[in-house]
Amino acid sequence: MLQIAYIRENQEQVVKALAKRNLDAAEMIQKVIDLDEQRRATQVELDNILAESNKLSKEIGDLMRNGEKSKAEILKEKTAKHKERTAELKDVLNNVTEELTQELYKLPNTPADIVPEGKSADDNLNIFQSGEIPMLHEDAVPHWDLIKKYDIVDFELGTKITAPGFPVYKGKGAKLQRALISYFLDKNTDAGYKEYQVPHLINEASGYGTGQLPDKEGQMYHDAKDDLYLIPTAEVPVTNIFRDVILQENELPVLATAYTPCFRREAGSWGAHVRGLNRLHQFDKVEIVRIEHPEKSYEALEGMVEHVKEILNELKLPYRILRLCGGDMGFTSALTYDFEVFSTAQDRWLEISSVSNFETFQANRLKLRFKGKDGKTQLAHTLNGSSLALPRVLAGILENYQTPEGIVIPDVLKPYCGFDIIN
């Protein structure tokens, strides 16, 4: 979340920055400042009473040792009143602090200066495009027809076992899926990312730590009995590894990668844009996470963008990169780049990766800090990116690599698959 000290010192700038998200935050910010002033005033009064109580306790001790019991009893009456007021102030302080925290949770991150103005995905800025869009044969079809033709993904079976949006991968479809996961992880570890295997369920503290709660609780599967959530992305458990951690400056940067299944309740509406593998309730994804020095996080973000570009170049898929506008950015992000692969058979762009810098927004929730060379402790910057989300990458491969003889496997994946074509 945003730091209260920064809000207090930069009220107008914060309101202006959040307006780029099409959010009129003036009243919210004023409420936060008012609650913070109440919290600080209560804390000052509490500190003064506690100091006075300590002073009185010392005086009572001195009087008792000197045999002046009557004077000591008078002071004891005063300390009793102090105890009552202390209890009242502690209750007020706890309530105000909790209310302030909940108000801060409602505030999204402030966009970086280079985030473009805009209200929706239509206003995102196309900053890069690469790859030739292939000319497909006359009988080319979308991936949902291809997977039936070659019997590699079964949606009906997934519905039988679970519900719609939970596909079953079969035969060469399952092997291609596993090949993509292994390839992505190898690319990430070769680039210096440490691989983790993490739980697929998180507690509430982890959800709050990375900003999924309370913003996206309606999109997450929740086990009420144990109060645990199925993860929407590996970003959540991986980043929470470093919750309540103080790193040394020489330990930065921290680079981590993980493969996990991901679970999202809100899989979208009906229609071609959510058909087949385009949007699912359960899908596989390989994630990269970085913890960076604040002075180096934007350089690291550009490095992550180049890393994802290299993967897509090796897969030889046509893609573009968008800088998201204020109205289309995620709640926790300060700057996001979306990667989209062109689906030739669907004649549309499919989002397959988001790479974001959260600056101190997550770190403030996580209490993720580092100690500088000067001995001072400060919040780190966190970043993450999909590297990559599998369903739409798989859809792009199936559609763009289809031939009358079958679906040709990209050269870089052939060693992982053990076959050259799906036919």
- Structure tokens of 252? 């930065």
Non-local (6+) Cβ contacts of 157 within 8 A are: 168
Is 233 marked as binding a ligand?
A: yes
Domain final residue, candidates 106, 136, 156: 106
97 and 130 together in one domain: no
Tell me if 109 sits within 8 A of 332, measured CB to CB: yes
21-45 residue pLDDT tens: 999 999 999 999 999 999 999 999 9
- State percent of the chain over pLDDT 90: 84
Quote the pLDDT of residue 268.
52
User: Per-residue DSSP letters for 245-295?
Assistant: -EEEGGGPPEEEEEEEEEE-S----SSGGGSTTSS-SEEEEEEEEEEE-TT
Question: Among 151-160, 231-240, 253-262, 342-351, whose mean pLDDT is lowest?
Answer: 342-351
156 and 283 together in one domain: yes
Of 312, 311, 293, 310, which Cα lies nearest the Cα of 383? 293
233 and 171 together in one domain: yes
What mean pLDDT do residues 159-174 have?
96
For the chain, the 3-state helix, strand and coil shares in percent, each to the nearest 5, are 45, 20, 30
Q: Is residue 190 one of the residues assigned to a domain?
A: yes
Q: Is residue 13 one of the residues assigned to a domain?
A: yes
How far apart, in whole angstroms, are the C-alpha atoms of residue 335 and residue 380?
16
282-326 residue pLDDT tens: 999 999 999 999 999 999 999 999 999 999 999 999 999 999 999
Confidence bin at 218 (pLDDT 50/70/90): confident
48 and 139 together in one domain: no
What mean pLDDT do residues 65-92 have?
87
Quote the pLDDT of residue 93.
97
Q: Is residue 26 one of the residues assigned to a domain?
A: yes
178 and 41 together in one domain: no
Is 353 marked as binding a ligand?
A: yes
Q: Is the pLDDT of residue 270 over 50?
A: no
Quote the pLDDT of residue 64.
82
196 and 101 together in one domain: no
Q: Is residue 208 one of the residues assigned to a domain?
A: yes
Q: Is residue 188 one of the residues assigned to a domain?
A: yes
Confidence bin at 54 (pLDDT 50/70/90): confident
What is the domain-level CATH number for residue 309?
3.30.930.10
If one counts the domains in the chain, the total is: 2
Quote the pLDDT of residue 267.
52
Quote the pLDDT of residue 273.
57
What mean pLDDT do residues 371-398 have?
96
Domain final residue, candidates 52, 71, 106: 106
Domain region containing 195: 121-422
What mean pLDDT do residues 369-393 have?
96
Question: Among 112-121, 265-274, 322-331, whose mean pLDDT is lowest?
Answer: 265-274
Quote the pLDDT of residue 269.
46
95 and 141 together in one domain: no
Of 253, 217, 210, which Cα lies nearest the Cα of 234? 210
Is 251 marked as binding a ligand?
A: no
Q: Is residue 68 one of the residues assigned to a domain?
A: yes
Is 360 marked as binding a ligand?
A: no
Residue 382 phi/psi, 5-degree rounding, is -115, 145
Average confidence score pLDDT of the chain: 94
84 and 142 together in one domain: no
Q: Is residue 275 one of the residues assigned to a domain?
A: yes
233 and 97 together in one domain: no
Q: Is residue 114 one of the residues assigned to a domain?
A: no
91 and 138 together in one domain: no
Q: Is the pLDDT of residue 216 over 90?
A: no
229 and 314 together in one domain: yes
191 and 215 together in one domain: yes
CA atoms within 13 A on the CB side of 214: 7
Is 352 marked as binding a ligand?
A: yes
Q: Is the pLDDT of residue 17 over 70?
A: yes
